Amino acid sequence: MTQPTNRQIVLASRPVGAPTADNFVLTQSDIPTPAQGEMLLRSVYLSLDPYMRGRMSDAKSYAEPVGIDEVMVGGTVCQVEASNHAEFEVGEWVLAYTGWQDYALSNGEGLIKLGKQPSHPSYALGVMGMPGFTAYMGLLDIGQPKEGDTLVVAAATGAVGSMVGQIGKLKGCRVIGIAGGEEKCQFAKDTLGFDECIDHKAADFAEQLAKACHNGIDIYFENVGGKVFDAVMPLLNTGARIPLCGLISQYNATSLPEGPDRMSMLMAQLLIKRIKMQGFIIFDDYGHRYGEFAADMTQWLAQGKIHYREHLVQGLENAPDAFIGLLEGKNFGKMVVQTNQPR
């Protein structure tokens, strides 16, 4: 089943508000040929993550935006299709960052080898990759969980949230999840082992959250912002910690919300309650500690202590719709696109 061309999804236009299908175009180009010292990678799995919304805008951020007509960026799990590189063999699996396309060249820089027959190659995009690492370092290093702490995590069944909550349980926290809809809440409690999970779509969401957090909140792992944070803020305990790794509810915002201006109120809360709020970007801040994470997570998975759910979508052509759905919370688990069948 050879493919004569390299399918690529490029950024056709910058979204205003929520991305639409029109912002993406599927194009075809020739499959490139590796020079000496290079190899051709063929993607099998593409990770879809909320941060990609930021790359579609040209507002100043921590990373360069994707240019118009450029291939959308993203983490991938690939197989080496052809190799002129001494250290990589055809058929080998690698974790790469080749984006929303079938094929790409690489000189080996930045690749992580995954072996010849990894049991779950796509895990490198989730539980063993960026989202799992984000959950691990954000919770343990910034959140500093103590036995008996109340930990609240939003997007509780998402790639990061589901890991935060489960690691929190392993550290002896009381874990309260927040998720959209009854099915996700049941999953968080029954399968992930959270103590409670509150549906943010419920009319009395804030009241339910307050009731579940009867001893206040010691750690709030922030990845959504907006109304969820509004409900969390009054419940924060003295000395609370807020690792901040995402604000998905805000990514499509085209303007600031109407007033009053609560910026000073947030700062006053941080002051009065002696709260630490800290943003982080996982590989920039903690890249040197990946080994620590990988060792723990490998063990926890082997011991059955961590449950990992993927939301697998078939076909590169479906990546735009899947990504739009991800920003709307329609995924149930880590969003991964299977772009090609393994060889």
Cβ proximity to a copy of itself, 42 vs 53, nearer residue: 53
Start-to-end CA span in the chain (Å): 10
The distance of closest approach from Cβ of residue 83 to a copy of itself in the complex, given in angstroms and rounded to an integer, is 37
Query: Can residue 49 be called a binding residue for a copy of itself (CB under 8 A)?
Result: no
The distance of closest approach from Cβ of residue 240 to a copy of itself in the complex, given in angstroms and rounded to an integer, is 10
Cα distance between residue 315 and residue 26, in whole Å = 12
Q: At 235, phi and psi to the nearest 5? A: -95, -5
The distance of closest approach from Cβ of residue 28 to a copy of itself in the complex, given in angstroms and rounded to an integer, is 35
The distance of closest approach from Cβ of residue 294 to a copy of itself in the complex, given in angstroms and rounded to an integer, is 22
The distance of closest approach from Cβ of residue 233 to a copy of itself in the complex, given in angstroms and rounded to an integer, is 9
Is residue 223 a contact partner of residue 154, using CB atoms and an 8 Å limit?
yes
3-state secondary structure of 121: helix
Query: Can residue 260 be called a binding residue for a copy of itself (CB under 8 A)?
Result: yes
Query: Can residue 274 be called a binding residue for a copy of itself (CB under 8 A)?
Result: yes
Query: Can residue 5 be called a binding residue for a copy of itself (CB under 8 A)?
Result: no
Query: Can residue 288 be called a binding residue for a copy of itself (CB under 8 A)?
Result: no
Cβ proximity to a copy of itself, 148 vs 234, nearer residue: 234
Q: What is the dihedral of CA 123, 127, 131, 136, to 10 degrees?
A: -150
Cβ proximity to a copy of itself, 109 vs 284, nearer residue: 284
Cβ proximity to a copy of itself, 63 vs 112, nearer residue: 63
Q: Which two tokens stand for residue 259?
A: 């007033």
Applying CB under 8 A, which of residues 275, 313, 316, 324 lies at the interface with a copy of itself? 275
Q: How many residues bind a copy of itself (CB under 8 A)?
A: 42
5-43 burial string, b = 16+ CB within 10 Å, else e? ebbbbbbeeebeeebeeebbeeeeeebeebeeebbbbbb
Residues 218-257, interacting with a copy of itself (CB under 8 A)? 222, 225-226, 229, 238-239, 244-247, 250, 253, 255-257
Cα distance between residue 236 and residue 8, in whole Å = 45
Q: What angle do CA 172, 177, 182 make, to 5 degrees?
A: 140
What percent of the residues of the chain are helix, what percent strand, and what percent coil, each to the nearest 5? 30, 25, 45
Binding site for a copy of itself (CB under 8 A): 61-62, 222, 225-226, 229, 238-239, 244-247, 250, 253, 255-268, 270-281, 284-285
